[in-house]
Amino acid sequence: MPQEQRSLRSGFLRSVEQHPDRPALQLDAAVLSYSALRDRAAALAQTLSAHAPAGEPALTAVFAHRSVTAYAGVLAGLLRGHGYVPLNPGFPTDRTRGMLVRSECRSVIVDAHGARQLVEVLDGVDTPLLLLLPEHDDVSEFAAQWPKHRFIGASDLLEASAWFAGPVDANAIAYLLFTSGSTGQPKGVMVAHRNVVPYIDAMVERYAVTEQDRFSQTFDLTFDLSVHDMFVAWERGACLCAPTGGQKMFPGKYITDCGITMWFSVPSTVVLMSRLKMLKAGKYPGLRFSLFCGEALPVEMVQKWAEAASQSIVENLYGPTELTIACTLYRWNGQTSPAQSEFGVVPIGEPYPGMKMLVADEQQNEVAVGEAGELLMTGPQLTLGYYKDPQRTAAAFVTPPGRNEVFYRTGDRVRRPAAGQPLVYLGRVDNQIKIQGYRVELGEVEAILRQEAGVDVAIAVGWPVTASGADGIVGFLGADSADTAAIRERVIARLPPYMHPSELRLVSEFPLNANGKVDRKVLLASLAAQAELA
pLDDT at 182 over 60: no
Can you say whether the dihedral through the CA atoms of 20, 18, 314, 350 is positive or negative? negative
Task: Please write the tens of the pLDDT for every residue from 197-211.
Answer: 999 999 999 999 999
Domain with residue 48: its CATH number is 3.40.50.12780
Exposure of 141 by Cβ count < 10 A (0-12 exposed, 13-18 middle, 19+ buried)?
Answer: exposed
Residues 6 or more apart whose CB falls under 8 angstroms from that of 75 comprise 9, 12, 37, 38, 41, 45
Is position 462 within any domain?
Answer: yes
The predicted structure's pLDDT at residue 2:
40
Sheet holding 501-506, edge to edge: 458-462, 473-477, 501-506
* Most confident of the following: 158-162, 363-367, 423-427: 363-367
d(Cα 447, Cα 94) in Å, to the nearest integer?
Answer: 37
362, 401 Cβ separation under 8 angstroms:
no
Is position 501 within any domain?
Answer: yes
The predicted structure's pLDDT at residue 437:
60
Q: Are residues 154 and 223 in the same domain?
A: no
The predicted structure's pLDDT at residue 181:
59
Last residue in a domain, options 318, 344, 378: 318
pLDDT at 4 over 50: no
pLDDT at 469 over 80: no
Q: Are residues 257 and 159 in the same domain?
A: no
Judging by DSSP bridges, how do beta strands 187-192 and 385-386 pair with one another? antiparallel
Task: Please write the tens of the pLDDT for every residue from 244-301.
Answer: 877 888 899 999 999 999 999 988 889 889 988 999 999 999 999 999 998 889 899 9
Q: Are residues 158 and 222 in the same domain?
A: no
Q: Are residues 135 and 84 in the same domain?
A: yes
Residue type, 257: D
Q: Which residue range(s) make up the domain with 52?
A: 3-168
DSSP 367: P
The predicted structure's pLDDT at residue 454:
93
Confidence of residue 381 (pLDDT cuts 50, 70, 90): very high
Q: Are residues 14 and 124 in the same domain?
A: yes
42, 97 Cβ separation under 8 angstroms:
no
The predicted structure's pLDDT at residue 15:
98
Q: Are residues 164 and 247 in the same domain?
A: no
pLDDT at 184 over 60: no
| Range of weakest confidence among 256-260, 327-331, 385-389, 492-496 | 492-496
pLDDT at 1 over 80: no
What is the number of other CB atoms lying within 10 angstroms of the CB of residue 365? 13
Q: What is the DSSP string of 171-213?
A: TSEEEEEEE--TTSSPEEEEEEHHHHHHHHHHHHHHTT--TT-
The predicted structure's pLDDT at residue 180:
67
Mean pLDDT of the chain: 92
Task: Please write the tens of the pLDDT for every residue from 21-52.
Answer: 999 999 988 999 999 999 999 999 999 999 99
The predicted structure's pLDDT at residue 3:
41
Crossing angle of helices 484-492 and 442-453, rounded to 10°: 130
Is position 379 within any domain?
Answer: no
The predicted structure's pLDDT at residue 468:
58
Q: Are residues 145 and 227 in the same domain?
A: no
Mean pLDDT for the stretch of residues 459-466: 88
Is position 460 within any domain?
Answer: yes
d(Cα 474, Cα 464) in Å, to the nearest integer?
Answer: 9
Domain with residue 242: its CATH number is 3.40.50.980
- Long-range contacts formed by 448-452: CB under 8 A, 24+ apart: 448/491, 448/494, 448/495, 449/475, 449/477, 449/487, 449/491, 449/501, 449/504, 450/298, 450/300, 450/344, 451/344, 452/487, 452/490, 452/491, 452/494
Q: Are residues 117 and 231 in the same domain?
A: no
Is position 180 within any domain?
Answer: no
Q: Are residues 457 and 309 in the same domain?
A: no
d(Cα 101, Cα 204) in Å, to the nearest integer?
Answer: 36
Q: Are residues 159 and 250 in the same domain?
A: no
Within the chain, how many helices (H) and strands (E) appear? Answer: 17, 29
pTM of the model: 0.85
Residues 6 or more apart whose CB falls under 8 angstroms from that of 340 comprise 347, 417, 421, 422, 424
Domain with residue 486: its CATH number is 3.30.300.30
- Long-range contacts formed by 115-118: CB under 8 A, 24+ apart: 116/89, 117/63, 117/89, 117/93, 118/63, 118/142
Confidence of residue 497 (pLDDT cuts 50, 70, 90): confident
Please give the tally of structural domains in the chain.
3
Of the two residues 196 and 247, the one the predictor is more confident about is 196
227, 317 Cβ separation under 8 angstroms:
no
Is position 444 within any domain?
Answer: yes
The predicted structure's pLDDT at residue 188:
95
Q: Are residues 228 and 306 in the same domain?
A: yes
**Percent share of the chain, pLDDT over 90:** 76
pLDDT at 343 over 90: no
Is position 346 within any domain?
Answer: no
DSSP-based three-state secondary structure for 147: coil
The predicted structure's pLDDT at residue 335:
96
Residue type, 206: R
Whether the bond between 134 and the residue before it is cis, its omega within 30 degrees of 0, is no
Last residue in a domain, options 168, 183, 216: 168
Judging by DSSP bridges, how do beta strands 356-360 and 239-242 pair with one another? unpaired
Last residue in a domain, options 258, 293, 318: 318
Residue type, 7: S
Q: Are residues 44 and 142 in the same domain?
A: yes
d(Cα 188, Cα 392) in Å, to the nearest integer?
Answer: 11
- For residue 260, how many C-alpha atoms fall within 13 Å in the half-sphere facing its CB? 28
**Percent share of the chain, pLDDT over 70:** 96
Is position 392 within any domain?
Answer: no
Exposure of 4 by Cβ count < 10 A (0-12 exposed, 13-18 middle, 19+ buried)?
Answer: exposed
pLDDT at 386 over 70: yes
